[in-house]
Amino acid sequence: MTPEAQRPPSIRDVAGRAGVAISSASAALNDKPGVSDETRARILSVAKDLGYVPSWRGRSLSAKRAFTVGLVVERDPDVMGDDPFFGAFVGGIEESLGPRGYALAVRVSRDARAAATGYRELAGNRRVDGVFLNELLVDDPRPESMLRWGMPAVGINPGPGEFVFPTVRQDGTKAIVEALRWLARIGHRTIAHVAGPLRYVHAVERLEAFRSVLLDLGLDPSLVTEGDFTYQGGYEAADRLLAVSPRPTAVFCANDLTAVGVMNRALDLGMKVPADLSVIGYDGIAMGGYTRPTLTTIKTSPRALGRQSARLLLDLIEGSLPMDAQASVPEARLVVRSSAGPASTI
Amino acid sequence: MTPEAQRPPSIRDVAGRAGVAISSASAALNDKPGVSDETRARILSVAKDLGYVPSWRGRSLSAKRAFTVGLVVERDPDVMGDDPFFGAFVGGIEESLGPRGYALAVRVSRDARAAATGYRELAGNRRVDGVFLNELLVDDPRPESMLRWGMPAVGINPGPGEFVFPTVRQDGTKAIVEALRWLARIGHRTIAHVAGPLRYVHAVERLEAFRSVLLDLGLDPSLVTEGDFTYQGGYEAADRLLAVSPRPTAVFCANDLTAVGVMNRALDLGMKVPADLSVIGYDGIAMGGYTRPTLTTIKTSPRALGRQSARLLLDLIEGSLPMDAQASVPEARLVVRSSAGPASTI
DNA sequence: TTGAAAGCGATACCAG
DNA sequence: CTGGTATCGCTTTCAA
């Protein structure tokens, strides 16, 4: 890859060819005052002739900024493909990043230890100017450590209460309330929940919402089993739930993948969905519209979440945002499809 | 974000505290010869005390290397989430990148024009040291322009024939042959194909494979309609195919999403799958195992493809790989599930 | 073995 | 308005 590797023109080349000082070239190129119109025009034209593109490395060193933000995803590379959140979230981030000249550095780590290393590298290196804190854990050490490193960050759905960095939230509680109340209204009395791993704040939030609504409705809120946000986890959770008596007639799942797993297990056991078992998911992934029956779910907006959080992060980096800023995207909505409905035996 | 923003220790701080020259510190830190063991030990210990992490910006400028590679994804941010290839591919890339100290910069562009801009920025800027060329088009301009820019690249499944950069391929032809021959063997005589947009080489390759096998089998290879690799595209393609006479009894689709669309349309029309229509997809996405009936498909390995192509790209960047290098990952395999089988009326 | 100094490419300050 | 120069943090000669 070296044959005709002539290095790209630098600002010196431009200045030289235009017969001006480097500083003038810099000012002209950056639309800064202090250069006569005529000189500016000449510099610009030379730059164009040469095909000059400012080196991001030089700029970066000088500006003490990487013009890059980091996203660390803690997930086994093997299941990365099954995660629709990732792509949509990245898509949203890019919408904000691109126009402002920033790039996104992605790091995939298979476990918490590797993820910590990932953050440390990105932050210690100053390879990025800020990071996204996503899928937060209860007592997550990352926010504190980013603060200690002096690394700007934004928290995505950090749960209720204070957070040391700006946050972006999408409330899903109201939609959960609506979904569960609806289930009760159409006759369900035994409603179960397949939670996500309770080390995640979003898993806890959904569980809390479930409990509080059921209590409110005078129903038993204790029919809960912990899944792992995967299809397989849902499939297996279904077996546990369907073994209890009285058997639940409806299940609210912490995410869609789990819900599809539950639904398929029920179907595989010869049950009818929703007649024998109603299933409701959470996320609103496209797949929910492709399964049969189609999945009733609570639809979130990963893309908007990405877009907003990137906006906040850049504002924070550039100093125009207080640390306690809070943003939110429109609440998650209940999307009624066909996996939930009245129980056959009321 | 500025209160106690003391800048992180630089190599000068380390050298100063250790009472040595910067160059000695550099040598010690990089495991280079020219420093006595004793001095080295002292430097290392000071570096540790100070929590020194080499600045990636300085290193980058000096080394004339960004230690970053770029992936440009041409896709509407809205459907990024539906694309399981992206996540898995990125996961694979990271497996090779991380250990070698490189990062991945991702750029999402909604159309070809934006994607071209994306490449130009990454390349012109020298923000990245190399790029992945994925989802190649027939007569794709990107390889040539990367060559012109002197930007290392690798082509992922660039189709048959020469390619100006190293390539990584996963052959799927044999599996397609096997799948179609199997359909014929179990009695299908009218087999259709829902192609991908034919501007993509991989769409053309799959179509060519389809045609050649059907010709070989003495069947009519002309029952082809063009989809767009989406679920909706498949759903609509099904309507077109089911209107022709004689009606096909089996459909091979260019990807899984399309196949699920075709299958669902058939089910929605009250047909039985596979009794009335057999459906075979391509990709092997997890969802194929979640639909009912489960999807028979040809399973590819996006993660392995990512891992291999990143390996090649880094080798190319670091100069240890010829431009005509070719790598491949194990061929795609036919995965028989339940969406395809003997036709009910033979 | 060690240290001094020259880049890398850009920005920013300060004289002229 | 313009040009020179220091600076960012590191690597890499090149002398001592």
CA A102 – CA A127 distance, rounded (Å): 12
Average pLDDT over residues A195-216: 98
Model pLDDT, residue A14:
94
**CA closest to C9 C1', residue:** A58
CATH superfamily of domain region B68-170+302-328? Response regulator (3.40.50.2300)
> Going by C-beta distance under 8 Å and a sequence separation of 6 or more, which residues neighbour residue B283?
B84, B85, B255, B256, B257, B297, B298, B299, B300
Does B81 sit within 8 Å of A285, measured CB to CB? yes
The answer to whether A155 contacts chain B (CB < 8 Å) is no
Average pLDDT over residues A43-68: 94
**CA closest to C6 C1', residue:** B62
Q: What are phi and psi of B250, to 5 degrees?
A: -150, 145
Cα radius of gyration rounded to whole Å, chain A:
26
Counting Cα atoms < 13 Å in the Cβ hemisphere of B148 gives 8
pTM as predicted? 0.94
**With 90 as the cut, is the pLDDT of residue A34 above it?**
no
Q: Which two tokens stand for residue B248?
A: 């096909």
CA A95 – CA A229 distance, rounded (Å): 27
Identify the helix (H) or strand (E) that includes residue B156: strand B153-156
Model pLDDT, residue B122:
87
Q: Please state which of the four CATH numbers 3.40.50.2300, 3.40.1190.20, 3.30.70.260, 3.40.50.720 is assigned to the domain occupying B173-300.
A: 3.40.50.2300
Counting Cα atoms < 13 Å in the Cβ hemisphere of B56 gives 22
Strand C nucleotides within a 7 Å radius of protein CB atoms: 1-14
Query: Which residue in chain B has the smallest CA separation from A101?
Result: B121
pLDDT tens digits, one per residue of B97-121: 999 999 999 999 988 888 988 888 8
Q: Report the mean per-residue pLDDT for chain B.
A: 94
Residue A299's DSSP bridge partners are: A283, A333
CA B218 to chain A, closest CA, distance in angstroms equals: 35
Identify the helix (H) or strand (E) that includes residue A118: helix A112-124
> Going by C-beta distance under 8 Å and a sequence separation of 6 or more, which residues neighbour residue A340?
A179, A183, A250, A274, A278, A279, A280, A296
Model pLDDT, residue A3:
39
Query: Which residue in chain A has the smallest CA separation from B101?
Result: A121
Say if residues A126 and A90 touch (Cβ distance below 8 Å). Answer: no
Identify the helix (H) or strand (E) that includes residue A234: helix A231-243
* Neighboring chain B residues of A125 at a CB cutoff of 8 Å: 53-56
Report percent pLDDT > 90 for chain B: 86
Q: Show the 3-state SS of B72-141.
A: EEECCHHHHHHCHHHHHHHHHHHHHHHHHCCEEEEEEECCHHHHHHHHHHHHHCCCCCEEEECCCECCCC
Say if residues B128 and B283 touch (Cβ distance below 8 Å). Answer: no
Does A1 sit within 8 Å of B56, measured CB to CB? no
Q: Hey, which residues 187-216 in chain A have their CB within 8 Å of chain B?
A: none
Query: Which residue in chain B has the smallest CA separation from A286?
Result: B82
Of A71, A170, A177, which Cα lies nearest the Cα of A129? Answer: A71
Name the residues contacting strand C (CB < 7 Å).
A 7, 10-12, 22-23, 26, 29-30, 32, 52, 54-55, 57-59, 61-63; B 19-24, 27, 33-36, 38-40, 61-62, 64
Name the residues contacting strand D (CB < 7 Å).
A 19-24, 27, 33-36, 38-40, 61-62, 64; B 7, 10-12, 22-23, 26-27, 29-30, 32, 52, 54-55, 57-59, 61-63
Q: Where are the alpha helices (DSSP H) in B150-301?
A: 173-185, 201-216, 231-242, 256-268
Q: Band of the pLDDT at B6, cuts 50, 70, 90? A: low
Query: Which residue in chain B has the smallest CA separation from A307?
Result: B77
* Neighboring chain A residues of B2 at a CB cutoff of 8 Å: 319
Model pLDDT, residue A2:
41
**With 70 as the cut, is the pLDDT of residue A74 above it?**
yes
Model pLDDT, residue B1:
44
The answer to whether A2 contacts chain B (CB < 8 Å) is yes
Say if residues A311 and A290 touch (Cβ distance below 8 Å). Answer: no
Q: Hey, which residues 50-79 in chain A have their CB within 8 Å of chain B?
A: 51, 53-58, 60-61, 64, 66, 68, 75-78
pLDDT tens digits, one per residue of B161-188: 999 999 999 999 999 999 999 999 999 9
Model pLDDT, residue A80:
86
Strand D nucleotides within a 7 Å radius of protein CB atoms: 1-14
Say if residues B214 and B223 touch (Cβ distance below 8 Å). Answer: no
**With 90 as the cut, is the pLDDT of residue A79 above it?**
no
Average pLDDT over residues A234-238: 98
The answer to whether A80 contacts chain B (CB < 8 Å) is yes
Q: Band of the pLDDT at A324, cuts 50, 70, 90? A: very high
Average pLDDT over residues A54-64: 94
The answer to whether B346 contacts chain A (CB < 8 Å) is no
CA A189 – CA A278 distance, rounded (Å): 12
Does B291 sit within 8 Å of A4, measured CB to CB? no
Model pLDDT, residue B2:
40
Query: Which residue in chain A has the smallest CA separation from B51?
Result: A124
Does B127 sit within 8 Å of A56, measured CB to CB? yes
Average pLDDT over residues A214-228: 98
Q: Band of the pLDDT at A120, cuts 50, 70, 90? A: confident
Cα radius of gyration rounded to whole Å, chain B:
26
CA B144 – CA B135 distance, rounded (Å): 15
**With 90 as the cut, is the pLDDT of residue B330 above it?**
yes
Model pLDDT, residue B3:
38
- Do domains A68-170+302-328 and A173-300 share one topology? The answer is yes
**With 50 as the cut, is the pLDDT of residue A224 above it?**
yes
**With 60 as the cut, is the pLDDT of residue A116 above it?**
yes
Model pLDDT, residue B333:
98
Average pLDDT over residues A179-184: 98
Q: Report the mean per-residue pLDDT for chain A.
A: 94
**With 90 as the cut, is the pLDDT of residue A107 above it?**
yes
The residues spanned by each domain of chain A are 1-28+35-48, 68-170+302-328, 173-300
Give distance CA A44 / C1' D6 (Å).
Answer: 26
> Going by C-beta distance under 8 Å and a sequence separation of 6 or more, which residues neighbour residue B319?
A1, A2
Q: Hey, which residues 121-140 in chain B have their CB within 8 Å of chain A?
A: 122, 124-127
Model pLDDT, residue A332:
98
Query: Which residue in chain B has the smallest CA separation from A97?
Result: B107
Give the nucleotide nearest to B8 (CA→C1'). D9
The answer to whether B105 contacts chain A (CB < 8 Å) is yes
* Neighboring chain B residues of A285 at a CB cutoff of 8 Å: 81
**With 80 as the cut, is the pLDDT of residue B345 above it?**
no
**With 80 as the cut, is the pLDDT of residue A180 above it?**
yes
Is the pLDDT higher at A3 or at B86?
B86
Model pLDDT, residue A6:
62
CA B272 to chain A, closest CA, distance in angstroms equals: 13
The answer to whether B90 contacts chain A (CB < 8 Å) is yes
> Going by C-beta distance under 8 Å and a sequence separation of 6 or more, which residues neighbour residue A99?
none
Average pLDDT over residues B309-323: 96
Model pLDDT, residue A4:
41
The answer to whether A4 contacts chain B (CB < 8 Å) is yes
Does B292 sit within 8 Å of A291, measured CB to CB? yes
Of B254, B261, B248, which Cα lies nearest the Cα of B281? Answer: B254
